[in-house]
Amino acid sequence: MIDLPEKKSRFRMTRRRLILGGSLIGGALVVGYIATNPMQVAGAILQGGGDDPRPSAFGPFIRITDDGWITVVNKQQELGQGIHAGLAAIVAEELDADWDRVRVVDSRSNFRAYGPQMTGASNGIASNWDLMRNAGAAARAMFVAAAALRWGVPSGSIDIRNGIVSHLDSRRTATFPELLADASRQPPPDSPMLKQPADYRLIGTDKVRRKDSLSKSTGAQVYTQDIQRPDMLVAMVAHSPRFGGTLARFDASDARKVKGVVDVFATETGVAVVAETTFAAWKGRDALRIEWDDSEAETRSTHELVRYYHDIAAGRSDVEPAEFDSKGDDSEVPFDDDVADFAFDFPYLAHAPMETLDCVAQVNGWDVSITSGAHLATVDQVYAAFAARTIPGKVDIEVVPAGGSFGRRGVLSSDYLVECVRIAKRTDGRPVKLMWSREDEIASGYFRPMSHHRVWVQLGRDGFPTRWRIHSVCQSLLPVGPNSLATEGITHSPYFSTASTVDGKIFTPTFPVVVGLWRSVGHSYTALVMEHIIDQLARRAGLDPAAYRRVFYEKVEDKRRLAVLDELCLKAGWGTPLETGWARGLAIHEAFGTIVGQVAEVRLVDGRPLVRRVVAVVDCGIAIAHDQIAAQMEGSIGFGLSAALYGAITLKDGIVQETNFDRYLVLRMNEMPVVETHIIASTSRPTGMGEPGVAPIAPAVANAILALTGQPTSRLPFLDGNARSNTDVSAQFNG
C-alpha cells in the first residue's frame, strides 16, 4: 500500500510531463500562429462554413469587367457619410481609372474576404487608406505589366491616365478591357508603388462626388425598410417602457383577433406580434395587454438622476472614481479663494435617424440570412449566430445603406438585429421584417449618456491655469474596459499645458438606462466643457479668446491647431464688428484625429439663440472628397445644433417622455444656419470627417451667448420646457 502510490505517482508524473510539455509546445505553436496570422485565424473562426464572394483577379475590393466598368467593393457601412465615394476615389486614384466608369457596391459580411467590417469612430477612410491604396496600386501594376509584355517595352515607360494605358514613345494605347485578360494573369505585386500626394489627379479635386445621389433623389434607393421578400412577414415588438423591466404576463387574445396577425409570442425583449403587413402588426401590438415586472427596472426621473450625479461628484455616494488624467499631486492642497469653478449638466440624447431600426432575417436550419443597414457587420454576424444558435460563418448579412444611424445601428449588442433573428427562428423559415416605430426608436436607449462635470481651475498671475481639477460623472460608453470614451476630448487637453497639476477623475455609475455611441461620442459634450471654460478664463484674463487659445497651442507646439485657428479667424472675420445684437463665438476641438474650428454668429431673440452663419475650418489630413467634407461639416453642424438647442431625453418614473419628433425636436429647414467650410491643405494621412464637426458647434454658440450677455452656459439644451419648439428663425435674421 505504500509502494504502489509511489509507482503510480511516478507514472502520473511522466504522463503529466508529457501532457504539459506537449501542450506547451502545442500552445506555443498555436499562439505563435495566431500572433503572426491573426486575420487568417479570425477569418477562419468567423467565416468558417460560409461562402466567399466571387473571386476577382484584382483582389476582394476591385472587380473589372470587359464593359470597362470598375466596381469597387465597399466593406464599410454607407449611412450617409459618403464613404462609398471616398473609398472608391482612393482606389481610382491609385489605379488611374476613369472616375465616371467607377461604381460602388456594398459588400456582404465576410471577415475572411474583407477583414473587420466595423464602421465607427469616423474611421472609414482612415482605417482603409492603406488597404485601398494598395489594392488600387496593385491592380494598376498588373495592367502595366500586361501592357509591357504585350508591347515588348519596359514597364517603367508605361503610363495610365483616366483608364487608358499608354506607351508614349510608340504612341500605343489600350483600354482596361483590352488588357483585362492579360492583366488578370499577372501576379499581384507584394508592395506596389504608391503615389505621392503631389501626383494626385482625382483625390482632392471636385470630381470626387457621390455615386448615389440620383437613386436617392428618385426614391429608387432600397433601404432595409423597403425590402420585400416572397412570403415575408412583418414583426413589431412591444418593449418594456422602463429600462430593466421584464415581461411579467401578457394577454394576446385581442391581438390575435386582428386580421393579418399570424402569431404573437413572448421574446427576450418583449412581446412579438408577427403579421402579414406592417399595419396589421401595428394594430396587433396596440391590442396587446401586458404587465411588466419593474422590480429590477430604473424608476427614477431625470431630476432625481441629476441630483444623484451631483452627489456622486461631491463624493456623497459609493461610486469610486478612476483617474483619467493626472499631473503632479495636489490632492492635499486647498484651492485659493479666487478659483474659477464650473459645473455642467448634459442630458441623454436619442439618435433619431430618419429610418427607424429595422432588419430582415430568414432562418433555415443552420443558415441565417439577414438584410440590414448593419453598422458593425462583423459584430452583428457573431451576435446573430448566437441568437440563432448557429456559427458565424452560416450568417450571411446583406449590408444595405442605412437611412442614417448616428451610432444607433452601431451598438455592441446588435440589439434590433438579434431581436429580428430570434423572431425569424419561430416563423418556420418565412422571412421576417422587424419594424420599429419612431416611438420605439426614441425610447430604446443606447443614448448619448447624461453627464455631470465639476471643474476647478486655479489661475496664475498671467491669467493662465496653474491647476486643473475635473471630476466627471458618466455611465460607461462601452460594455467592458475603462470608461475612457466618457472623457475623450478632456484627457490630454492642450489647455492643461500651462498647469503644473492636473487631477482628472471619472465616476462611472451603473444603472439600467442603456447608453451607447452617439455621433462624436464623448466629444459631444467634452468640447463644450473645455471650450466654454477657456472662453470664460479668457474673459477673466481680459484676453481675446482666440489670442488666449493661441498661447496654449504654441506652448504644446500644435501646428495643426494653430493653422486651424489662424485660418478660422481670417475666414470668419474674427475681431471685425457685427451688426448690433449679433456676436461671434469660437470653438476648436480635436476628435478622431481631425481638428475642427467653428465660429458661430448668434443673436438672442426672447432668450432663444438664433444662429445665422457658421464658418468652419477643418484639418482632416489629405482631403479626398472636398464636397463631401463640406457636406459632413454642414450635416454635423445641423446635427450638433439640433441637440444643443432642443436635444434631451427625459425620464419620468423611469419612462422616456419624448415619443416622436413633436417632443424630441430636431432642427428644421428654417433654422439651418449658412455654413462655410474651409479645408486646411495637408499631406498627412486622412482622418475622419463623419463626427468631428458635431463637437464644436455647441460651445461656439455658448461662447457667442457669453459674448452677448456675459452669461455662461452650464447645461444643455439651450431651450427647455415650452421653449422647446421649432421657431421661425428666418424672419428674425434681418430684424
Partner 1 sequence: MSYAISVNGQVHHVEDDGQTPLLWVLRDTLKLSGTKYGCGAAQCGACTVHVDGKPMRSCTLSLERASSARITTIEAVEGADVRAIQDAWVAHDVPQCGFCQSGQVMSAIALLRTVEKPTDRDIDLAMSGNLCRCATYNRIRAAIHDAASKLGTPT
Partner 2 sequence: MSWRASAFGNWRRRLKVGVLSVLGLIVVVGAGGLAYALYPRTMPQTQSIEIKLQPAEVERLRLASDFAAIADLNERSVALFEEAGRVIQHPRCMNCHPQTDRPTQTDAMRAHVPWVTRGLDGGGASTLRCSTCHGDTNFEPSGVPGNPTWMLAPIEMAWQGKTLGDICRQLLDPTRSHMTREELLRHMTEDELVGWAWHPGANRRPVPGAQAEFGALIKAWLETGAACPP
Q: Which residues bind partner 2 (CB under 8 A)?
A: 38-40, 42, 46, 59-61, 115-116, 118, 127, 130-131, 134-135, 138, 187-192, 247-253, 264-268, 279, 282, 289-291, 378-379, 382-383, 385-387, 389, 412-413, 479-480, 661-662, 665, 668, 670, 722, 724-728
Query: Could you tell me if 689 and 635 are in contact, meaning their C-beta atoms sit under 8 angstroms apart?
Result: no
Name which position in 127, 173, 184, 221 contacts partner 1 (CB under 8 A). Answer: 221
Q: Which is nearer to partner 2, 481 or 542 (CB)?
A: 481
Contact window for partner 1 (CB under 8 A) among 3-11, 217-225, 521-529, 537-545: 217-225
Measure CA 79 to chain center.
10
Give the strand pairing for 655-656 and 594-605: unpaired
Query: Minimum distance from CB of 436 to partner 1 (Å)?
Result: 10
703 binds, among partner 1, partner 2, none (CB under 5 to 8 A by kind): none
Beta strands per DSSP E along 416-500: 432-435, 451-459, 465-474
H helices of 221-354, in order, are 253-257, 278-286, 302-313
Task: Give the separation between CA 443 and CA 421, rounded to whole angstroms.
Answer: 21
Q: How far is the CB of 79 from partner 1 (least distance, A)?
A: 6
The nearest distance, CB 23 to partner 2, in angstroms, is 20
3-state secondary structure of 431: coil
Minimum CB–partner distance for residue 632 and partner 1 (Å): 8
Q: Show Cβ contacts of residue 570 under 8 Å, excluding neighbours closer than 6 positions.
A: none
Judged by beta carbon distances under 5 to 8 A according to partner kind, the member of partner 1, partner 2, none in contact with residue 587 is: none
Interface residue with partner 1 among 191, 218, 331, 722 (CB under 8 A) is 218
**Where do the H-state alpha helices sit in 298-400?**
302-313, 377-388
Closer CB to partner 1, 150 or 438, in the complex: 438
Find the shortest distance in angstroms from Cβ 592 to partner 2. Answer: 13
- Our CB check for partner 1 shows the closer of 70 and 402 to be 402
- Residue 29 interacting partner from partner 1, partner 2, none (CB closer than 5 to 8 Å by kind): none
CA pair distance 572, 707, nearest whole angstrom: 16
The residue (of 137 and 702) whose beta carbon lies closer to partner 2 is 137
Piece of the chain touching partner 1 by CB under 8 A; list 97-105, 207-215, 264-272, 478-486: 207-215
130 binds, among partner 2, partner 1, none (CB under 5 to 8 A by kind): partner 2
Among 50, 80, 392, 516, interactor with partner 1 by CB under 8 A: 80
Instruction: State whether residue 544 is helix, strand or coil.
Output: coil
Kindly state the smallest distance separating residue 254's Cβ from partner 2, in Å: 9
CA angle 114, 416, 523 (to 5 degrees): 75
Strand partners, 92: none
Is residue 554 part of the contact set for partner 1 (CB under 8 A)?
Answer: no
Could you give the CA distance from residue 5 to residue 673 in angstroms, rounded to a whole number?
86
| Binding-site partner at residue 82 among partner 2, partner 1, none, CB < 5 to 8 Å by type | partner 1
User: CA neighbours within 13 Å on the CB side: how many for 687?
Assistant: 21
DSSP 86-150: HHHHHHHHHHT--GGGEEEEE-BS-HHHH------TT-HHHHHHHHHHHHHHHHHHHHHHHHHHH
497 within 8 A of 667, measured Cβ to Cβ:
no
Question: CB count, 10 Å around CB of 107?
Answer: 20
Residue reference for cell 386582428:
258
Main-chain dihedrals φ then ψ at residue 367, nearest 5 degrees = -90, 130
Q: Least distance (Å) from partner 1 to the CB of residue 256?
A: 16
3-class DSSP string for 392-418: HHHEEEEECCCCCCCCCCCCCCCHHHH
**Residues 434-473, mask of contacts with partner 1 (x by CB under 8 A):** -x-xx-----------------------------------
Least CB distance to partner 2 at residue 189 (A): 7
Partner whose binding site includes residue 383, from partner 1, partner 2, none (CB under 5 to 8 Å by kind): partner 2
Nearest CA-CA partner of 349 in 650, 637, 604, 121:
650
**186 is a site residue for partner 1 (CB under 8 A):** no
Question: How many residues in total does the chain contain?
Answer: 735
Q: Residue 403 binds which entry of partner 2, partner 1, none, with Cβ cut-offs from 5 to 8 Å by kind?
A: partner 1
State yes or no: residue 596 binds partner 1 (CB under 8 A).
Answer: no
* Binding of partner 1 by 717 (CB under 8 A): no
Q: Is 403 in the site for partner 1 (CB under 8 A)?
A: yes
Q: Minimum Å distance from CB 252 to partner 2?
A: 4
Q: Is 231 left (phi over 0), alpha (psi -120 to 50) or beta?
A: left
628 binds, among partner 2, partner 1, none (CB under 5 to 8 A by kind): partner 1
Phi and psi, residue 360, nearest 5°: -115, 130
Cell 449618456 sits at which residue? Answer: 449
Cβ proximity to partner 2: between 62 and 499 the closer is 62
- Which of 271, 502 has the CB closer to partner 2? 271
Q: Which of 245, 79, 93 is nearest to 163 (CA)?
A: 93
Q: Which listed range, 211-219, 413-421, 494-502, 561-569, lies at the site for partner 1 (CB under 8 A)?
A: 211-219
Instruction: Pick one of partner 1, partner 2, none as the site partner of residue 316 (Cβ within 5 to 8 A by kind).
Output: none
437 or 466: whose CB is closer to partner 2?
Answer: 437
Rounded CA-CA distance 469/574 in Å is 31
In this structure, which amino acid lies at residue 190? D
- C-beta of 10 vs 259, nearer to partner 1: 259
Rounded Cα gap, residues 155 and 145, in angstroms: 6
**114 or 574: CB nearest partner 2:** 114
CB of residue 115 vs partner 2: minimum separation in angstroms?
6
Least CB distance from residue 476 to partner 1, whole Å? 26
- The residue among 274 and 665 lying less far from partner 2, judged by its C-beta, is 665
- Give me the amino acid identity at 178: E
Q: Is 210 in the site for partner 1 (CB under 8 A)?
A: yes
Angle of CA points 521, 527, 532, to nearest 5°: 155
Comparing CB distances to partner 2, the nearer of 378 and 405 is 378
732 lies in the site for partner 1, by CB under 8 A: no
- CA-based end-to-end distance of the chain: 106
Interactions with partner 1, residue window 491-550 (CB under 8 A):
none
Residue 193 contact partner, candidates partner 1, partner 2, none, CB within 5 to 8 A by sort of partner: none
Window 615-644: residues binding partner 1 (CB under 8 A): 627-628, 631, 634-639, 642
- The SS3 call for residue 697 is helix
Which positions from 285 through 314 interact with partner 1, judged by CB under 8 A?
none
Q: Is 205 exposed, middle or buried (0-12, 13-18, 19+ CB in 10 A)?
A: middle
Residues 662-701 touching partner 1, rule: CB under 8 A, are 662, 666-670, 672, 674-675
In whole angstroms, the minimum distance from the beta carbon of 611 to partner 1 comes to 12
Separation CA 569–CA 162 (nearest Å): 39
**Helix pair angle (559-572, 545-555), 10° resolution:** 160
Angle, vertex CA 127, rays to CA 566 and CA 374, nearest 5: 115
Q: Which does 221 bind (CB under 5 to 8 A by kind): partner 2, partner 1, none?
A: partner 1
Establish if 277 lies at the interface with partner 1 (CB under 8 A): yes
| Strand-pair category, 501-507 with 465-474 | parallel
Cα separation, 225 vs 99, whole angstroms: 31
Residues that bind partner 1 (CB under 8 A): 79-82, 209-210, 212-223, 225-226, 228, 234, 259, 277-279, 352-356, 401-406, 435, 437-438, 627-628, 631, 634-639, 642, 660-662, 666-670, 672, 674-675, 726, 728, 730-731
